[in-house]
């Protein structure tokens, strides 16, 4: 039921940025069942669905999951890949959002490389290393995702890019090496507004989408 996603980021900039932005948004989070490497292909969150009878208007069918600005790009992706399904993709993106944040908070580098492209995974790793060097431990809980909407989409050659706007509440706590709280609160959630882009090469043997870029929403 999990889906895979990837973002393409400027590595050095994002590494520092993720620590300052995501790192301080950590709190107590429910622990999801760990995914073993051999099970990843079967549990990838963002995989194309088997081809089905097309609906009259697959973009309108996904509304309000797709902004008007993204409709043309989504139609181009669907024309190139009939397995692309808007509601399924958005649900998978939400699952991937939680999985990637969880992996970052826990310092799980293997899962980040599985879920993200190389540049984004390296940026996360840089932030994790800096956090560990400072002796900080984050305890996070993704309270809820209030909004997940496709706001941009395009097809560049054979590579599809879909950008999702997430509004989410995250409980965040950062502790030092002695267990003292140095940032955040165990009871107050922080509202976050982020833009994540997922990419996939259409026709590739690997059907999974990966996180290829992240940013804060304006």
| pLDDT tens digits for range 138-149 | 999 999 999 999
pLDDT mean over 26-50: 47
pLDDT one-digit tens code per residue, 82-92: 999 999 999 99
- Asked if pLDDT for residue 38 goes beyond 70, the answer is no
Identify the pLDDT of residue 21: 33
Look at residue 48 and tell me if it is in a domain: no
pLDDT mean over 43-61: 55
Look at residue 1 and tell me if it is in a domain: no
Look at residue 53 and tell me if it is in a domain: no
Q: How many residues does the chain have?
A: 218
Identify the pLDDT of residue 16: 33
Structural domain of residue 138, as residue ranges?
6-31+60-216
The model's pTM is 0.74
The CATH number that applies at residue 145 is 3.10.450.240
pLDDT one-digit tens code per residue, 148-196: 999 999 999 999 999 999 999 999 999 999 899 999 887 889 999 999 9
Paired sense of beta strands 181-201 and 159-175, if any: antiparallel
CA distance 193 to 23: 15
How many distinct structural domains can be found in the chain? 1
Look at residue 41 and tell me if it is in a domain: no
Look at residue 55 and tell me if it is in a domain: no
Angle, vertex CA 98, rays to CA 114 and CA 72, nearest 5:
85
Closest CA to 27 of 152, 140, 146: 140
- Asked if pLDDT for residue 201 goes beyond 60, the answer is yes
Look at residue 50 and tell me if it is in a domain: no
Closest CA to 25 of 192, 197, 166: 192
Listing DSSP states for 169-182 in one string gives: EEEEEEE-TTS-EE
Closest CA to 79 of 103, 65, 59, 95: 59
Q: What is the mean pLDDT of the chain?
A: 80
Q: Bigger pLDDT: 10 or 78? A: 78
φ, ψ for residue 170 (rounded to 5)? -130, 125
Look at residue 27 and tell me if it is in a domain: yes
pLDDT one-digit tens code per residue, 61-106: 556 899 999 999 999 999 999 999 999 999 999 999 999 999 999 9
Identify the pLDDT of residue 188: 85
Q: What percent of the chain has pLDDT over 70?
A: 71
Look at residue 52 and tell me if it is in a domain: no
Q: Bigger pLDDT: 195 or 19? A: 195
Provide the token pair at 55. Answer: 């609906």
């Amino acid at each position: 039921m999990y889906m895979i996603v990837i973002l393409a980021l400027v590595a050095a900039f994002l590494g520092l940025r993720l620590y300052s932005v995501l790192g301080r948004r950590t709190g107590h989070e429910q622990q999801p069942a760990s995914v073993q490497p051999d099970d990843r292909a079967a549990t990838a969150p963002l995989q194309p669905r088997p081809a089905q009878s097309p609906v009259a208007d697959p973009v309108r069918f996904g509304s309000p999951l797709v902004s008007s600005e993204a409709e043309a790009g989504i139609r181009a992706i669907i024309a190139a890949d009939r397995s692309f399904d808007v509601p399924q993709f958005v649900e998978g993106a939400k699952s991937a959002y939680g999985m990637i944040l969880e992996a970052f908070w826990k310092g799980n580098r293997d899962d980040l490389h599985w879920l993200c492209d190389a540049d984004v995974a390296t940026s996360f790793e840089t932030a994790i290393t800096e956090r560990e060097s400072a002796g900080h431990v984050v305890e996070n809980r993704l309270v809820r995702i209030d909004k997940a909407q496709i706001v941009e989409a395009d097809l560049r050659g054979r590579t599809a890019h879909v950008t999702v706007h997430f509004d989410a509440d995250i409980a965040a706590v950062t502790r030092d090496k002695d267990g003292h709280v140095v940032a955040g609160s165990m009871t107050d959630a922080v509202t976050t507004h982020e833009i994540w882009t997922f990419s996939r090469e259409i026709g590739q043997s690997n059907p999974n989408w990966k996180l290829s870029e992240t940013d804060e929403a304006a």
